Structure 1
Amino acid sequence: MDIVAMHIANGIVDGPVSALFTAFAAGALTVCVWRARADLDDRLAPMAGLVAAFIFAVQMLNFQVLPGVSGHLLGGTLAVVLVGPWVGALCVSTVLIVQCLLFADGGLTALGLNITNMAILGTAVGYLLVAGLMRMLPKTPAGVGTAAFIASVVGVVVASQGFVLQYWMGGTTELSMPAIAGTMAGMHTLIGIGEGLIAATTVATVARVRPDLVYALRRFRTAPAVEPVPVAGGVL
């Protein structure tokens, strides 16, 4: 039986824990909607639609990681690099909701679990890493691509450990937690490398053609030096 990495099905985690993370996801998305209102403009709004459509399309394409195990792009880091953390989390959440309701990809009762791991935890870690890396790397297509690659690998692995925590809190079968954590980390390291290559290639390409559309380049570019202002008797 093939396992699609990260998408949690119904019954894997018990009802109370699923309900807890559904409430957490709903609260986090409410904050994202509130904060995203300040970011959305005539340039970012259509870009957000394109990002969501791209993530949806690529998530439908699975690649083999191990025998019987396939993985796909999660999209969190790609989204935050292009449209920022608040809008990015909403893009990934929209994809997960559509996949769950229309394609039964991930259980309905597990939707809060999946949103927490992939749309909230994955994007948060990806954004924090990109923010740190872009303060050290050159603000170029290669620089933002490198940041996207590193953040993608780490973000995917951390998101996988979100499932480990959820399973520890309410898993419906008795399994070795160290074994689950190790297996998820190892498998998602490989998935993260694949995601990192896709994300790096995508954002570097966009940055070469339209750097103004890459949120990370706009947000973390070096502030221009302030020119001295002449005043009577000297400069200000």
Structure 2
Amino acid sequence: MHVPDGFINAPVSAVTGVVAAGAVAVSLKGARRELDERTAPLAGLVAAFIFAVQMLNFPVAAGTSGHLLGGALAAILVGPFTGVLCVSVVLLMQGILFADGGLTALGVNITDMAIVTTVVAYAVFRGLVKVLPRTRRSVTVASFLAALLSVPAAAVAFTLLYAAGGTTDVSIGKVATAMVGVHVLIGIGEAVITALTVGAVIAVRPDLVYGARGLTQKLRLRVGGELVDVPGAAPVPAAARSHRTVWAAGLLTSLVLAGFVSFYASADPDGLEKVATDQGIDKKAEEHAAADSPLADYGVEDVSDARISGGLAGAIGVGVTVVAGSSVFWVVRRRRTDDDTSPTSTTTSLTEGV
């Protein structure tokens, strides 16, 4: 759903740019409360994983494909504020290096793909986990439904933005019907990917999943061949392996997906591209400012073999994204540490202790 330059006029693009900048500023502050020594390294990896999976377009209808947006996945794994930053980093890397998503439309894309999907998904997720049993399976189910609803929500948001600043005279009703219809199907794929990923991380390190915080296991003993809860025993956290193992496995998975599996992705246009062509939205589309980038269109310039070119571009994208994302979250995490050890906070803590 990457919006190219020329779809939305300058005034609306400027407004969404201000909205996006404000949301990123708020998210930088909010992420300081979400990130700790365990989740800060994971956040950069989440951004890289989203970049990799977005290269894997899957067919959803005749001549149409879809790909992960990632807002739901990021929000549930590392928190909503950090999630907005994760997807924003991905969109920035894609726009600058790969000519995917217009640079003048960056505010539109961050508003639609980072803010709307994350806010909607996390609101749905939190509402569901409050009413479902407090189990790991409930987190996975809530992840599925939250991701499913986040994609058509983004489609509606794009339609509203196009109604306000579209550059062609088309029927907004037809655009809305086409956008929501195809993105409901794409949402199913988003939900499956999100639920499988969240479920996999929960199975290994539930303590690393932001949306699963608070889930604990009661101490149980086997009595007469049956497991029974120990009365009055304090819950104990699930066993956990080093986060370095999870990080390394996640990075390797991302590299394999982007560098190898992406070659087999659907070549059909994604939902927005298909609707734009069918409805005439793309009549005033502009050439991307980074169209001459050596990595434009997810290929390495001067590498003739398509498989090698695409694989190298994907691997480079994963590497750049994980470095950029990790750097951002390291700075955010360090700011939190500095705040916690500042003289003001120390004085406050001593006063509260008295």
Alignment TM-score, normalising by the size of structure 1: 0.89
The one of 149, 170, 173 equivalent to 1:175 is: 170
1:197 matched to which residue of 2? 192
Please give the residue correspondences for 1:1-236 in structure 2 after superposition, counting only pairs within 5 Å: 6-218=1-213, 221=215
Identity of aligned residues (%): 56
Distance in 2 (alpha carbons) for counterparts of 1:140 and 1:207: 11
Distance in 2 (alpha carbons) for counterparts of 1:17 and 1:170: 6
Matched letter for residue 177 of structure 2: G
Matched letter for residue 137 of structure 1: L
- Given that 1:141 and 1:203 are in contact with CA atoms closer than 8 Å, whether structure 2 keeps it comes out as no
CA deviation string 1:81-127 (max 9, x = no partner): 11010001100110011011111111001110000011001100000
Distance in 2 (alpha carbons) for counterparts of 1:217 and 1:139: 9
CA deviation string 1:135-178 (max 9, x = no partner): 12223332111101101111111011111011000101111111
Distance in 2 (alpha carbons) for counterparts of 1:138 and 1:157: 27
2:305 matched to which residue of 1? none
Distance in 2 (alpha carbons) for counterparts of 1:214 and 1:38: 15
Higher relative contact order (CA 8 A, sep 6+): 2
- Given that 1:117 and 1:163 are in contact with CA atoms closer than 8 Å, whether structure 2 keeps it comes out as yes
Distance in 2 (alpha carbons) for counterparts of 1:140 and 1:58: 27
Deviation of the 1:69 alpha carbon = 2.5
Larger deviation, residues 130-139 vs 102-111: 130-139
Distance in 2 (alpha carbons) for counterparts of 1:21 and 1:209: 39
Deviation of the 1:68 alpha carbon = 3.4
Q: Give the 4+ runs in structure 1 shifted more than 6 A.
A: none
Distance in 1 (alpha carbons) for counterparts of 2:101 and 2:64: 15
Q: Unmatched 5+ residue regions in structure 1?
A: 1-5, 228-236
Aligned residues: 218
Distance in 1 (alpha carbons) for counterparts of 2:30 and 2:193: 28
2:348 matched to which residue of 1? none
Deviation of the 1:50 alpha carbon = 1.3
Distance in 2 (alpha carbons) for counterparts of 1:65 and 1:211: 32
Distance in 2 (alpha carbons) for counterparts of 1:93 and 1:173: 27
Distance in 2 (alpha carbons) for counterparts of 1:215 and 1:7: 27
Distance in 2 (alpha carbons) for counterparts of 1:153 and 1:67: 21
Distance in 2 (alpha carbons) for counterparts of 1:68 and 1:102: 27
Q: Unmatched 5+ residue regions in structure 2?
A: 219-231, 233-354
